[in-house]
């Protein structure tokens, strides 16, 4: 098993596993947050109840630990891989036009990932940290009023713009990442490779436009 | 036609190199790119300076020796051609052409445009073979294999090992080369017996040589003169994961 950890292919496997788990999480996260599109009164109560149930659930707690481990694993492996890749070519090309041979976002996964990571820190600080450790007013049902926090945060234009930009970065990251993960894990059949690639495009666009629509909707509602 | 050249000149692997400018007059547009370099070298010899060293052998696009970066692209601007199959008519009169060696830590520059690609040889030596004494060529129909499998194996075997995939890869990954060799043998019945040790050993050697990770940018397939498919990389990953899971 010692060798398993050292090899380029196994490192990429870890990137694929952690990345796909994060993709799965995005689906669950978006599905829950779609409740914000309900009529304001209903959204208010239901969203607070939903977050109350989630925060009290042991399985959700276990999944959240796996989630944090996946984020850290994905970042750590990305750094290890990038350092090794930089070592694989120490002298740069004097004149470089290699970019014409591939998509820009496939070459800049690290940059896109950094934007997403910075966003994640801001996002966790504004919602997760405040919900867990901050002081929130209670709603009529006696649940922490997360809905109010969401509405007030998304009422700020600069935050909505930042959010949408980060979702565009996430979209490009997923456009390459989803199919790349399938390839790393060894999907080589030409028909299914194509199907996974198309699914990955649809997945990226649906997930990211869904997430970007929430702050825009809340902002416009205000 | 008149051609202005900027070429990487490097005395040996220890000395630092630099870009040097040359101008060639009366270049025939039907010359191959390597013939243009021959012409330059004749001129340099007449001037009493050291000619530009570059790798070449068959000049028919099948040996995989001639690999250089031309205007920032591996094997130049044309698709699916080696450097020797590129002709001067592709360029315009008075154009500046920038020529550099393929760059990767695993491919150290020996002199000018000449690089050491023995890392590829060591990857092959680590597992790119079938360890049985085959004797005489057997009767063709005695090995049960379908025509599509033969064709797919041959497509993988078409890799000439020029190193363009490594040169164009942002990570200097040798995944396309190594996977083509693995897929070639994995597709044939004779290759099945050693499939697991082969993929482990070849991936191991590829890593030892200092090639980078595959990011699936697919630039290698675009620049490959033999159009080797990136799906071979997926097959290598599949064979590797299978070998690791089934390892006793």
Q: How far apart are CA B28 and CA B9, in angstroms?
A: 24
Q: Do A8 and B206 touch (CB under 8 A)?
A: yes
Which residue has tokens 């796996």? A66
pLDDT digits (tens, 9 = 90+) for A95-142: 999 999 999 999 999 999 999 999 999 999 999 999 989 888 998 888
Do residue B145 and residue B31 come from a single domain? no
Same domain? B137 vs B236: yes
Which residue, among A13, A81, A91, A179, would best test binding to B if mutated, counting the most B CBs under 10 Å from its CB?
A91
Nearest residue of A to residue B224, measured between CA atoms = A101
φ, ψ for residue B189 (rounded to 5)? -60, -35
Over the stretch B122-167, which tens digit does the pLDDT of each residue have? 999 999 999 887 788 888 888 889 999 999 999 999 999 999 999 9
Nearest residue of chain A to residue B222 (CA atoms): A101
ipTM field: 0.91
User: Residue B200's closest CA among A186, A7, A189, A12?
Assistant: A7
- On whether both B130 and B237 belong to a single domain, the answer is yes
Q: Do B100 and A94 touch (CB under 8 A)?
A: yes
Tell me the residue range of the domain where B54 lies.
3-111
pLDDT at B248 over 90: no
- Which tens digits make up the pLDDT trace of B91-116? 999 999 999 999 999 999 999 999 99
B14 and B81, same structural domain? yes
Q: Do A102 and B222 touch (CB under 8 A)?
A: yes
Q: Which domains does chain A have, with CATH numbers?
A: 7-89+103-221 (1.20.1300.10)
CATH number at residue B85: 3.10.20.30
Task: Measure CA A173 to chain center.
Answer: 9
pLDDT, tens digit, 9 for 90 and up, residues B31-81: 999 999 999 999 999 999 999 999 999 999 999 999 999 999 999 999 999
Please state, in angstroms and rounded to a whole number, the distance separating the CA atoms of residues B16 and B95. 27
Residue among B212, B224, B245 with most chain A CBs within 10 A, to mutate: B212
State the pLDDT at residue A2.
Answer: 46
From chain B, the residues in CB contact with A11 under 8 A are 213
Q: Which pLDDT score is estimated for B174?
A: 97
The enclosing domain of B180 has a CATH number of 1.10.1060.10
pTM: 0.94
CA B102, CA B162: separation in Å to the nearest integer?
10
pLDDT exceeding 70 applies to what percent of chain A? 97
Asked if A193 lies within 8 A of B234 by C-beta distance, the reply is: yes
Claim to verify: residue B100 and residue B133 sit in the same structural domain: no
Residue A75's pLDDT band (cuts 50, 70, 90): very high
Q: Say whether both B105 and B127 belong to one domain.
A: no
**pLDDT, tens digit (0-9, with 9 covering 90-100), for B200-245:** 999 999 999 999 999 999 999 999 999 999 999 999 999 999 999 9
The closest CB to that of B244, out of A4, A93, A95, belongs to A4
What is the model's pLDDT at position B144?
Answer: 87
C-alpha separations of B97 from A44, A168, A193, B89, B162 in Å:
65, 38, 39, 13, 21
Above 70 in pLDDT, residue A77?
Answer: yes
- B44 and B124 in a single domain? The answer is no
Instruction: Name chain B contacts of A90, Cβ cutoff 8 Å.
Output: 105
Of B202, B216, B169, B235, nearest in space to A16 by CA: B216
What average pLDDT does range B182-208 have in this prediction?
94
CB contact under 8 A, B238 and A187: yes
Q: Determine the Cα–Cα distance for residues A154 and A216; give it in Å rounded to an integer.
A: 8
Q: Who among B213, B214, B235 is closest to A188 (CB)?
A: B235
- Within this chain, do residues B17 and B131 fall inside the same structural domain, yes or no? no
Q: Per-residue pLDDT for A222 more than 80?
A: no
Say yes or no for a CB contact (<8 Å) between B237 and A3: no
Pair B97, B164 in one domain: no
3-state secondary structure of A145: coil
Do B204 and A3 count as a contact with CB atoms less than 8 A apart?
yes
* Set of chain B residues whose Cβ sits within 8 Å of the Cβ of A187: 234, 238
Task: Tell me how many domains chain B contains.
Answer: 2
Measured between CA atoms, the residue of chain A closest to residue B169 is A98
| Chosen from B163, B215, B228, B245 to mutate, greatest number of chain A CBs within 10 A | B215
Give the pLDDT score at A101.
Answer: 94
pLDDT recorded at residue A141: 87
Query: What's chain B's length in residues?
Result: 248
Domain closes at, from B63, B80, B111: B111
| Domain boundary pick from B63, B78, B111 | B111
Confidence (pLDDT) at A6: 64
Provide DSSP, A203-216. Answer: HHHHHHHHHHHHHH
Cα(A24)–Cα(A1) distance, integer angstroms:
27
User: Are A11 and B212 a contacting pair at CB < 8 A?
Assistant: no
Q: Are residues B168 and B68 in the same domain?
A: no
Which pLDDT value is given to residue B143? 84
Residue A1: per-residue pLDDT: 41
* Interface contact flag, A85 B203, Cβ < 8 Å: no
What is the spatial distance between Cα A27 and Cα A199, in angstroms, rounded to a whole number? Answer: 14
Contact B212 A3 (CB under 8 A): no
Q: CA of B213, closest CA in chain A: separation in Å?
A: 6
Q: Is A138 helix (H, G, I), strand (E, B) or coil?
A: strand
Which of B111, B126, B157 is the C-terminal boundary of a domain?
B111
Touching check for A96 and chain B: CB below 8 Å?
A: yes
Q: Are residues B189 and B232 in the same domain?
A: yes
- Work out the mean pLDDT of chain A and round it to a whole number: 93
Note whether B84 and B125 are same-domain residues: no
CA A138 to chain centre: 29
pLDDT in tens, A168-210: 999 999 999 999 999 999 999 989 999 999 999 999 999 999 9
């Amino acid at each position: 098993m010692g060798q398993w950890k050292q090899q380029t292919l196994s490192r990429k496997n870890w990137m694929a596993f952690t990345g796909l788990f994060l993709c799965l999480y995005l689906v669950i996260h978006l599905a829950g947050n779609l409740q914000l599109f309900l009529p304001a009164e209903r959204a208010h109560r239901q969203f607070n109840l939903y977050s109350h149930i989630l925060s009290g659930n042991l399985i959700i707690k276990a999944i959240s630990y796996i989630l944090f481990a996946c984020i850290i694993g994905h970042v750590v492996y990305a750094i290890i891989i990038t350092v090794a890749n930089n070592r694989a070519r120490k002298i740069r090309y004097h004149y470089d036009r290699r970019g014409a041979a591939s998509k820009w976002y496939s070459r800049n996964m690290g940059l896109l990932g950094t934007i997403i990571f910075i966003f994640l820190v801001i996002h966790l600080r504004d919602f997760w940290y405040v919900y867990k450790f901050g002081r929130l007013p209670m709603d009529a049902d006696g649940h922490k009023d997360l809905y109010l926090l969401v509405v007030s945060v998304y009422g700020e234009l600069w935050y909505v713009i930042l959010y949408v930009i980060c979702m565009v970065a996430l979209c490009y990251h997923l456009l390459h990442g989803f199919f790349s993960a399938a390839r790393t894990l060894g999907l080589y059949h030409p028909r299914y490779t194509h199907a996974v690639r198309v699914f990955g495009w649809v997945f990226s666009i649906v997930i990211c436009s869904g997430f970007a629509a929430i702050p825009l909707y809340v902002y416009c509602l205000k | 036609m008149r051609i202005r050249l900027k070429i990487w000149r490097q005395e040996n692997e220890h000395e630092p190199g630099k870009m040097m400018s040359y101008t060639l007059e009366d270049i025939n547009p039907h010359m191959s790119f390597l013939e243009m370099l021959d012409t330059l070298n004749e001129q340099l010899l007449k001037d009493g300076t050291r000619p530009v060293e570059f790798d070449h052998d068959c000049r028919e696009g099948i040996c995989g020796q001639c690999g250089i970066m031309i205007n920032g692209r591996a094997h130049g601007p044309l698709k699916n051609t080696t450097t020797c199959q590129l002709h001067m008519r592709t360029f315009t009169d008075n154009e500046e052409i920038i020529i550099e060696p393929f760059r990767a830590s695993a491919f150290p520059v020996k002199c000018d445009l000449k690089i050491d690609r023995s890392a590829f040889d060591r990857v092959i030596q680590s597992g790119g073979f079938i360890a049985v004494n085959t004797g005489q060529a057997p009767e063709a129909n005695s090995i049960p294999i379908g025509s599509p499998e033969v064709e797919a194996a041959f497509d993988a075997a078409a890799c000439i090992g020029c190193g363009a995939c490594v040169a164009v890869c942002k990570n200097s990954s040798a995944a396309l080369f190594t996977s083509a060799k693995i897929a070639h043998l994995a597709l044939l019945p004779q290759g099945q017996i050693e499939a697991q040790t082969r993929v482990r050993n070849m991936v191991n050697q590829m890593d030892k040589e200092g090639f980078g990770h595959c990011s699936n940018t697919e630039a290698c397939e675009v620049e490959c003169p033999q159009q080797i498919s990136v799906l071979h990389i997926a097959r290598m990953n599949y064979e590797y994961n299978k070998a690791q899971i089934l390892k006793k």
